[in-house]
Amino acid sequence: MTPVKQKPAARFEKINMPPDTFRELGHALVEQIAGLFERLPTAPVTTAAQDETIRAMLQALSPASDNGQDAGALLEKTTRLLFDHSLFNGHPKFWGYITSSPTPMGILADMLAAAVNPNVGAYVLSPVATEIEKQTIDWIGRFMGYPAGGGLLVSGGNMANYVGFLAALRAATGADIRKSGLRNFTPNLVLYCSAETHTWVQKAADLYGLGTDSIRWIGTDAQKRMSPVLLEEKILADKTAGNRPFLVVGTAGSVSTGAVDPLDALAALCEKYGVWFHIDGAYGGFAGALPELKTQFAGLEKADSLAVDPHKWLYAPLEAGCALVKNPRHLTDAFSYHPLYYNFEQTRLNFVDYGPQNSRGFRALKVWLSAQHLGMEGHRQLIREDIALARYAADILRAETDLAVFSSGLSITTFRYVPPDLSAHVGEPETEARLNQLNQAILNQMEAGGAFFMSNAVLDGVFVLRMCIVNFRTQAAHIEAIPEYIRMIGADLYAKMLE
Ligand SMILES: *Cc1c(COP(=O)(O)O)cnc(C)c1O
């Protein structure tokens, strides 16, 4: 008896939007986005409602339904929701953390990348995209004068640093450890970084099973740069104690103040003691492309691995981080496996062998298009302008008697408000506590208010307001408006504190 062939019913076609509908909805969406660009310079930085209000709005907008909704209406109300209740890091007065304004080119690139949707894990799945990512890696290396033998795009600075960290670890332990695991490894592996290092290093030590006790936090000079003298002392002490130094992390542009470690001196110590040199340039690495900063970044080219963040100073929309290595073998040694179900030719570049991801999106496209659109000189110019604006801010703030500047490095300036009647008591513990409290209150009010957006740093116990300009829309006039605004909310909050 032949089995009855059950012909499947017609597909659920709603998912497969007709091209004409796509055209219509896409044009409408692009129209909305262009309108946002037009409004941004005069709109508030944020119009975000209270958390509960947002949750209530979402409840009302998209109740879980069985039958779905009309695509056009859905896109329209979602666009409105996002445009009316977001924090805009593309706003000219957004200077919080290190989050850049996204390039319009990058926004279009992400759409194009999604449309083609190559899986950039394997060459066979993404021939053009793989070559474009490779070119992007080369471009990024050349831009900074880093001799990259290989590298890959990842989601951000943390991931890029994890890639460098594991490459260092595998280079130190050898390949066998991939099978037997670190539990059988002696001696104790230890790593070094400045006290200013971003918190990714703790996550990495933790994730890879070394534990955060393996981190040696090295003291810094007055400019918050790692002291090579203290570093060497600690390496020697560890060797004497029978520990195995395997990694020095230099920071090129610290998150708090934009400090750049003495990379050349760190590289020399790494060479001397046979230790892997990794540089975290997530924020500042790209500033190494400026000829006028060559001295400050000398030694960057000596790193075994380097992490940078195209979604910071190359203005790519989130997400785009990048890990570079001198020798790509260190990546394959750390990440490559060849299961039977991969029909990937090993003579071709398969990015799956270079990092932790399997399926990989086409992150490179936005970086690659921007690189070509603006050119190296365009990108250098944008970084240069941000640095000049941050210095201008420091100059403007220094001229005010009730504003005190604490640091100015790369495109980061830190300062605090000091009410006139407290200025004679600065440094006294009670006044310092009060100033910390006041400046924290200023920051909170600023973040909620929508006129400016900054974040903070704590420098030797002092709470300071911190502005980091990675923003192509910022102009001198936006900077000039800071003192009056800070004085206005500062004086008001101080008066309330005295009540
Ligand atoms: C931003 C930053 C990171 C983390 O990068 P993400 O892209 O946020 O993951 C790490 N180190 C430094 C110095 C950074 O500025």
Give per-residue pLDDT as tens, 252-294: 999 999 999 999 999 999 999 999 999 999 999 999 999 999 9
Ligand 1 site, residue 156, Cβ cutoff 6 A: yes
Alpha-carbon distance values, 132 to 118, 157, 469 (Å) = 12, 21, 29
Residue found by looking up tokens 């659920």 in the block: 12
Tell me the whole-structure pTM to 2 decimals.
0.97
Ligand 1 site, residue 98, Cβ cutoff 6 A: yes
pLDDT score of 474 more than 80: yes
Residue found by looking up tokens 């932790």 in the block: 356
Q: Residue 65's pLDDT band (boundaries 50, 70, 90)? A: confident
CA 296 to ligand 1 centroid distance, Å? 20
d(CA 151, CA 125): 19
Q: 248, 318, 251: which is closest to 103 by C-alpha? A: 318
Q: What is the pLDDT of residue 175?
A: 85
CA 367 to ligand 1 centroid distance, Å? 17
CA 92 to chain centroid, in Å, comes to: 19
Ligand 1 site, residue 164, Cβ cutoff 6 A: no
d(CA 30, CA 142): 34
Q: 103, 43, 92: which is closest to 475 by C-alpha? A: 92
Ligand 1 site, residue 322, Cβ cutoff 6 A: no
Ligand 1 site, residue 278, Cβ cutoff 6 A: no
pLDDT score of 1 more than 70: no
Q: Residue 2's pLDDT band (boundaries 50, 70, 90)? A: confident
Q: CB-based contacts of 255: which residues, under 8 Å, 6+ apart?
A: 97, 98, 196, 198, 283, 457
Residue found by looking up tokens 């059950």 in the block: 6
Alpha helix locations (H) across 95-153? 104-116, 127-144
Ligand 1 site, residue 309, Cβ cutoff 6 A: yes
Alpha-carbon distance values, 373 to 60, 103, 109, 255, 377 (Å) = 42, 11, 12, 28, 11
Q: 494, 450, 469: which is closest to 97 by C-alpha? A: 469
CA 97 to ligand 1 centroid distance, Å? 10
Identify the burial level of 244 via C-beta atoms within 10 angstroms of its C-beta, where 0-12 means exposed, 13-18 middle and 19 or more buried.
middle
Q: Mutation test of ligand 1: which of 226, 280, 318 has the most ligand atoms closer than 8 Å to its C-beta?
A: 280
CA 89 to chain centroid, in Å, comes to: 13
d(CA 257, CA 458): 10
Identify the burial level of 16 via C-beta atoms within 10 angstroms of its C-beta, where 0-12 means exposed, 13-18 middle and 19 or more buried.
exposed
CA 279 to ligand 1 centroid distance, Å? 12
CA 104 to ligand 1 centroid distance, Å? 22
Lowest mean pLDDT among 30-39, 63-72, 476-485: 63-72
d(CA 468, CA 453): 10
Q: Summarize the confidence of residues 338-358 as an average pLDDT.
A: 94
Query: Please, which residues bridge with residue 86 across strands?
Result: none
Q: What is the pLDDT of residue 50?
A: 86
Q: 291, 325, 333: which is closest to 307 by C-alpha? A: 325
Percent residues over pLDDT 70 in the chain: 100
Q: Summarize the confidence of residues 39-64 as an average pLDDT.
A: 87
Ligand 1 site, residue 96, Cβ cutoff 6 A: no
pLDDT per residue as tens digits for the range 367-412: 999 999 999 999 999 999 999 999 999 999 999 999 999 999 999 9
Residue 375 CB neighbours (<10 A):
11
Q: 420, 393, 430, 422: which is closest to 408 by C-alpha? A: 393
d(CA 407, CA 325): 32
Is the bond preceding 319 in cis, omega lying within 30 degrees of 0? yes
Ligand 1 site, residue 313, Cβ cutoff 6 A: no
Q: 215, 281, 271, 208: which is closest to 243 by C-alpha? A: 215
Q: What is the pLDDT of residue 140?
A: 98
Ligand 1 site, residue 157, Cβ cutoff 6 A: yes
d(CA 421, CA 444): 23
Q: Residue 60's pLDDT band (boundaries 50, 70, 90)? A: confident
pLDDT per residue as tens digits for the range 185-230: 889 999 999 999 999 999 999 999 999 999 999 999 999 999 999 9
d(CA 164, CA 323): 7
Ligand 1 site, residue 200, Cβ cutoff 6 A: yes
pLDDT score of 63 more than 80: no
Residue found by looking up tokens 């980061």 in the block: 412
CA 98 to ligand 1 centroid distance, Å? 8
Angle at CA of residue 394, ends 393 and 400, nearest 5°: 95
Tokens of 261: 């470690």
Residue nearest to atom 12 of ligand 1 (CA): 282
Ligand 1 site, residue 197, Cβ cutoff 6 A: no
pLDDT per residue as tens digits for the range 140-165: 999 999 999 999 999 999 999 999 99
Q: Mutation test of ligand 1: which of 154, 163, 255 has the most ligand atoms closer than 8 Å to its C-beta?
A: 255
Q: What is the pLDDT of residue 90?
A: 96
412-417 and 462-468: which strand pairing? antiparallel
Ligand 1 site, residue 283, Cβ cutoff 6 A: yes
Residue found by looking up tokens 């001397």 in the block: 272
Residue nearest to atom 5 of ligand 1 (CA): 157
SS3 118: coil
Tokens of 302: 């000596």
Q: What is the pLDDT of residue 142?
A: 98
Q: What is the pLDDT of residue 355?
A: 98
- DSSP result, 336-380: ----TT----TTS--GGGTSS-SS---THHHHHHHHHHHHHHHHH
Alpha-carbon distance values, 257 to 125, 254, 337, 456 (Å) = 43, 6, 40, 10
Alpha helix locations (H) across 412-458? 429-449
Q: Residue 475's pLDDT band (boundaries 50, 70, 90)? A: very high
CA 282 to ligand 1 centroid distance, Å? 5
d(CA 127, CA 149): 20
pLDDT score of 3 more than 80: no
Query: Please, which residues bridge with residue 348 across strands?
Result: none
Tokens of 308: 């940078």
Ligand 1 site, residue 102, Cβ cutoff 6 A: no
CA 308 to ligand 1 centroid distance, Å? 8
Tokens of 201: 């290093």
Q: What is the mean pLDDT of the chain?
A: 96
**Using the 8-state DSSP alphabet, how is residue 224 labeled?**
S
SS3 138: helix
Q: Summarize the confidence of residues 351-359 as an average pLDDT.
A: 98
